[in-house]
Amino acid sequence: MTSPPLEVDPRSGRLLSSVPVSGDRRRHPAPAHLRFFHGPMDCGKSTLALQVDHNQSRQGRHGLLLTQGDRSGRPRITSRVGLRREAIDVADGTDLRGLVRGHWAEGHRVDYLIVDEAQFLTAAQVDQLAELVDEWHVDVYAFGLTTDFRTRLFPGTQRLLEVADDVQRIQVEVLCWCGLPGLLNARVVDGAMVREGETVVVADTAPTPAPGEPSPEEDVHYQVLCRRHHVLGRLGPTPAGPGQLAFP
């Protein structure tokens, strides 16, 4: 048996023999990646999540769709443009490695994960995703909100920013009422913007009542604003109109 001829880079003079030849790929599986896409509410992240799933499955790959905090009773990823797919609802305590291994044990392939509402993941769950990528070569595509209504990073978002291989801010399609890109989420209670309170698990796709229309329970909804109008607490163009923060 003869060894393959040694190749030498003509410029550096270095041996190239350590470069795996093409038939070697199975022993050196293509590395998987943890990718995180984030943006404000209404930025189209669920649509992007479903598009990525579509592209992956068209290549014959098999994926699992996960979501968090879906209160509809039938977990699914729903986009505002009308697409939807059934999804697995993840609780705080769910071990995502165990979830994937369970599917493997049942004989199902899992090549990739789509994780929507990833802002609600715990830091430990994000680390579990990283382990699935590194040790099990599962590609992970996570989608989440950047900041809560207090303009602070969500816990899952923070951990993903820390450890993801690739982070992309979703090109903003949503505008503040003034026409500038909307970057921040405002919580509006009874027509006024609030900055205090708990981060509540509300799916990004929860229906937002139209202007002037009361929401079904208490009058709480979210509105996307540019940074300046988030700082000023201006929810609309009328300076003295309702919905303004009262300044002393």
* Residues forming the active site: 117
Q: How far is the CB of 85 from Zn ion (least distance, A)?
A: 34
Among 32, 34, 226, 235, binds Zn ion (CB under 5 A): 226
Q: Which is nearer to Zn ion, 90 or 226 (CB)?
A: 226
Q: How far is the CB of 207 from Zn ion (least distance, A)?
A: 23
Nearest to 87 by CA among 110, 112, 116: 116
Q: Which residues contact 34 (CB under 8 A, 6 or more apart)?
A: 129, 130, 133, 140, 142, 160, 163, 164, 165, 166
Q: How far is the CB of 52 from Zn ion (least distance, A)?
A: 30
Please report whether residue 224 would count as binding Zn ion according to CB under 5 A: no
Look up residue 55 and give its two tokens: 């592209």
Q: Which is nearer to Zn ion, 180 or 192 (CB)?
A: 180
Please report whether residue 186 would count as binding Zn ion according to CB under 5 A: no
Q: Which is nearer to Zn ion, 146 or 205 (CB)?
A: 146
Please report whether residue 178 would count as binding Zn ion according to CB under 5 A: yes
Q: Which is nearer to Zn ion, 32 or 176 (CB)?
A: 176
User: Going along 40-111, which residue ranges are E strands?
Assistant: 63-68, 76-78, 84-86, 88-90
Q: Which residues contact 248 (CB under 8 A, 6 or more apart)?
A: none
Please report whether residue 229 would count as binding Zn ion according to CB under 5 A: yes
Q: How far is the CB of 231 from Zn ion (least distance, A)?
A: 10
Please report whether residue 230 would count as binding Zn ion according to CB under 5 A: no
Please report whether residue 231 would count as binding Zn ion according to CB under 5 A: no
- Work out the number of other CB atoms within 10 angstroms of the CB of residue 61: 14
Among 77, 142, 176, 186, binds Zn ion (CB under 5 A): 176
- Candidates 22-30, 38-46, 132-140, 178-186 — which segment interacts with Zn ion by CB under 5 A? 178-186
Is 125 in contact with 96 (CB distance < 8 Å)? yes
- Work out the number of other CB atoms within 10 angstroms of the CB of residue 48: 20
Q: Which is nearer to Zn ion, 35 or 229 (CB)?
A: 229
Look up residue 101 and give its two tokens: 């291994």
Is 169 in contact with 40 (CB distance < 8 Å)? no
| Single-letter code of the amino acid located at 190 | D
Site residues for Zn ion per CB under 5 A: 176, 178, 180, 226, 229
